[in-house]
Structure 1
Amino acid sequence: MSSIIELPRLLMGDTPWSFLLEVAIRMVILYLVLFTGQRLMGKRMAGQLSRTEQAALVSLAATVGLPILSPDRGLVAPLLIAAIIVLMQRLVVHWAARHPQVEHVLQANVITLVADGVLKLDALEHAVLSHERLYAQLRGENLEHLGQVRRLYMEANGTFSLVEVEENPPPGLSLVPGWDEDFRKLQPTAAGRFACCSCGWVAEAPQAPATACPKCGVDNWEPAVEAIKQS
């Protein structure tokens, strides 16, 4: 029981207090290694990371973590590993810049998620992206329905790029959550237009079609809506 409340052992373990100074020195050195490594790997390391950049950054972090607190580990090995990681990252970027097929394998391509107000369901499945996640992204762009979307791309780094319909967007599938009935009632519906609840394709009919959507094969329709006009 007495060993449990030994404060020096609880705080420092089996290392001497003088090791605290060494830890501080190690931390400064390895911090500079991380900082320099990111600078050498390019400005994008400070922004949205690609797959290879994420792998390089995680590898750098793992390399410098253990030597900070382990008195039996020197700094030569992590410094060498960090140099190899930086060199490999620069070589990969240079190689990918010269060979587009290599860049495709490492980074993937830009994916079209929405085209002219219609969801690309196969692209959503490929990107492992749910409808609600996509709708949340579009709502974040102050859009109210899919008809306002000319194109929505998912870039190779996972970010989204939106191209809106600038003037007179056609009616489309509402992006307002179904449980928000009060706000949905404010959206004007387009007479004789019905949107597929699965892909957003809009059909012209006097009433909800009794057939499946020709785009995705789902038989689930709701009135297409227009954007709320600002007074």
Structure 2
Amino acid sequence: MKKEDISFGDWHRWLFGDAPPAFMGEVLLRALVMFVAVLLLMRLMGRRMKGEISVAELAVVLTFGAIIGGAMHQPKSGLLPGLAVLGAVLFMHRFTNWLAHKYHAVEVVEQGDAVLLLRDGVLDLAAMQQQALSQEQLFGLLRNENISQLGELRRVYFEVSGELSLYQLPTPVPGLSVRPPADAPTAALDGPAQGKKACATCGQVPAATDHAGGSCLRCGAANWQPAAWQAPKAA
């Protein structure tokens, strides 16, 4: 469109663009056809597309938007090219899933692998940094799972779906509280957490002799808070 063809008061261009008003009916029909086609493709791609999706599946969904956009509302675009590209995407999705099923290395490259974020109540800071996951984000996810402190956990895995898999200790030990700083616990007056501190950076709860240098022997931070502990719930 040339600069001289642009007029601020041209309401026809604002509402319909360069297409005639009659094209609106065709747009509705095109949208219906593409909507049905996408529904069929989502069904053919499997049940995973209806639940938590992987990175590859998210890429497919975003590609759908790019494919169907032009076929639905651009007068110069036909339906058949868009439908052909949708078919090609379906083939590539099926083919890469077959490769991932046959070769584990392909699955790891395409979807990633589970990452260990916590071991025996202590955070793996390097793994969290690699996954671009902050401590507060992780703690928020743990609070959603009714975890009050890290000493309840033996392992925490960050799955490829973005969910956490938790393996809890049979008997909790003192650990770093996952509550927000404004609601951080005070020093315990009795119980297993009495007199113990937890590193506010990695969650390490050292022995009393380890505090001599003032820094955490695991991560080097010098940021401590009272260790938290909660009695196991009665069965």
For the aligned pair, the TM-score class normalised by the smaller chain equals: 0.7 to 0.9
The correspondence of residues 103-118 of structure 1 with structure 2, limited to 5 A, is 103-118=107-122
Q: 1:50 to 1:207 in 2, by over 3 A?
A: closer
Query: After superposition, what is the alpha-carbon deviation per residue over 1:124-147, rounded to whole angstroms, capped at 9, x for unaligned?
Result: 111111111111111111221110
SS in 2 for 1:113: strand
Tell me the residue number matched to 2:31. 27
The CA deviation at 1:191 is 1.9
Letter in 2 for 1:145: Q
The CA deviation at 1:211 is 4.1
The CA deviation at 1:204 is 2.1
The correspondence of residues 1-231 of structure 1 with structure 2, limited to 5 A, is 4-5=8-9, 7-166=11-170, 168-180=171-183, 184-185=185-186, 190-205=193-208, 208-227=211-230
Q: 1:145 to 1:221 in 2, by over 3 A?
A: same
Which deviates more from structure 2 when the two are superposed, residues 138-147 or residues 22-31? 138-147
The structure 1 segments of at least 4 consecutive aligned residues displaced by more than 4 Å after TM superposition are 3-9, 186-189, 206-209, 228-231
Give distance in 1, aligned partners of 2:13 and 2:215: 72
Question: 8 Å contact 2:188–2:195 — kept in the other structure?
Answer: no
Give distance in 2, aligned partners of 1:188 and 1:145: 17
Give distance in 2, aligned partners of 1:4 and 1:178: 53
The CA deviation at 1:193 is 2.1
Query: After superposition, what is the alpha-carbon deviation per residue over 1:179-204, rounded to whole angstroms, capped at 9, x for unaligned?
Result: 235xx249767123221222111112
Q: Which runs of 5+ in 1 are unaligned?
A: none
SS in 1 for 2:175: coil
Question: 8 Å contact 2:174–2:228 — kept in the other structure?
Answer: yes
Q: 1:169 to 1:13 in 2, by over 3 A?
A: same
More strand per residue: 1
Letter in 2 for 1:133: Q
Letter in 2 for 1:140: N
Q: TM-score, normalised by structure 2?
A: 0.87
Count of residues in Structure 1 that have an aligned counterpart in Structure 2:
226
Give distance in 2, aligned partners of 1:132 and 1:187: 23
Letter in 2 for 1:55: A
Q: Which runs of 5+ in 2 are unaligned?
A: 1-6
SS in 2 for 1:35: helix
Q: 1:107 to 1:230 in 2, by over 3 A?
A: closer
Q: 1:179 to 1:96 in 2, by over 3 A?
A: same
SS in 1 for 2:220: coil
Give distance in 2, aligned partners of 1:35 and 1:23: 18
Give distance in 1, aligned partners of 2:232 and 2:153: 17
The CA deviation at 1:50 is 0.7
CA RMSD of aligned residues (A): 2.4
The CA deviation at 1:213 is 2.2
Question: 8 Å contact 1:192–1:204 — kept in the other structure?
Answer: no
SS in 2 for 1:192: coil
Q: Percent identity?
A: 35
Give distance in 2, aligned partners of 1:7 and 1:104: 52
